[in-house]
Amino acid sequence: MTIPFPRKKVSRAVAAEELAILERTYPHAVTALDYDSPFELLVAVILSAQCTDARVNLTTPYLFARYPDAASLARADQADIETIIKSCGFFRTKAKNIINAARGLVAEHGGAVPPDRESLEALSGVGRKTANVVMSVAFGEAAFAVDTHVFRVAHRLGLTLAATPRGVEDDVTKLVPREQWRHAHHWLILHGREVCKAPTPACERCPVTMCPSRPIVARARRAPKSASGRVRPDGRGAAAGRRPRSS
């Protein structure tokens, strides 16, 4: 079943109410990635692209036992890293990225992970989302990362109509006090994992009763199916199934 996104943003007052409900529902929301240092978090976030946090958490203990810091990872043989992280997907690219990122840390930052966006995004394999996660989680900086969960939930709640992660980031951060940005990221992620799932949200369990996607989901569930078994679009849900474009 493909669920179209709402075609209009909710009012600022409704958005504030929705976010307040999520804050109350997930008051202790934190990253699901296991890490003991900014270096481990950086590597884990790079590995998490197109991969579940659970799978990354199964992989990183062995990786960090062999390569506990940037200096050791910078000297690693790529084939060995590929073997360790193979289950995370895209393992050749990820292996190259984490080795080169470690080399960048050693060469430019004495092996330490820098806390600022410009330095982070200069590292191999680090884009805006990864930089935002590291800044907010490792250093407590005001940053709001947009992954697929955040992208989907922000649209379903009517917080944004943006077609890119950066557009979603800009829209949501206008609705949330700066000091709450890093927490709002986790509210939306947890809600996406536990309730507002892809492809079909569990609206019957959702505490956000004013969500504009509720009637959309109800209509989709009542709609006739095509020969392929999928719900036929009505021609008015152009946003259905939209995936975030890179920002």
Would you please indicate which residues are annotated as catalytic (active-site) residues? 129, 147
Element (H, E) at 224: none
Rounded Cα–Cα distance for residues 83 and 4 (Å): 40
Rounded Cα–Cα distance for residues 1 and 163 (Å): 21
In a 3-state reduction of DSSP, which class is residue 231? Answer: strand
How crowded is residue 39: how many other Cβ atoms within 10 Å of its Cβ? 24
Mark 115-143 as b/e (b = at least 16 C-beta within 10 Å): eebebbeebebbebbbbbbbbbbbbebeb
Q: 1: Cβ–Cβ under 8 A, 6 or more apart, which residues?
A: 199, 200, 220, 221, 230, 231
Rounded Cα–Cα distance for residues 168 and 146 (Å): 7
